[in-house]
Amino acid sequence: MNWLFTRRMGFLALALACAGMMAFALYLQYYKYLNPCPLCMFQRVFVVGVGIVALLAALHGPGQRRYRYYGMVAGIFGLIGLVVAIRHTLLQYFPPADLGSCGAGLMQMFETMNVMEVIIQVMAGGSECAAIDWSLLGLSLPGWSAVGFVGLTATAFALAFRRQR
């Protein structure tokens, strides 16, 4: 029973939580036909980032110091994803009056602009980012993503700084 509470199992659970979040996002995209906006795509990148780092930690099974590094990197990915999700939620519930269209798609933006310009353009938001297409208990999808990122980040930092017995 002690093997259930190891850091390795914690990181595996974190990776599975990220896989669950991505599975739900893909379900909404391909079965409910809710196409993601650029801010949603950025959130997906950070969920995948946390998941990959957590999976690497679970597979690698390093010593205590390296677990701390894995947890910190996963936590930083989670914090950045949380910032993006909060920005997206704020755009949906308190949209600015002059919110225009994002314009080009995300891939076209990457082809025509450098990375910093794309990040600035996407974080500014657009009318498709402000639309609320799905909600549960009064909270939109980016709001639930923010809740998920809080859980992922807290778990990653807890695993990073957990004392080894």
**Running along the chain, 165 residues long, what does each successive block of 10 average in pLDDT?**
67 91 89 82 89 88 76 91 87 67 60 67 65 75 89 89 67
Q: What is the pLDDT of residue 129?
A: 67
Residue spans per domain, the chain: 2-96+132-160
Q: Which CATH number fits domain 2-96+132-160: 1.10.10.10, 3.60.20.10, 1.20.1550.10, 3.30.160.100?
A: 1.20.1550.10
Instruction: Return the structure tokens found at 161.
Output: 């700084």
Q: What is the pLDDT of residue 126?
A: 65
Do 102 and 126 touch, CB atoms closer than 8 A? yes
pTM as predicted: 0.78
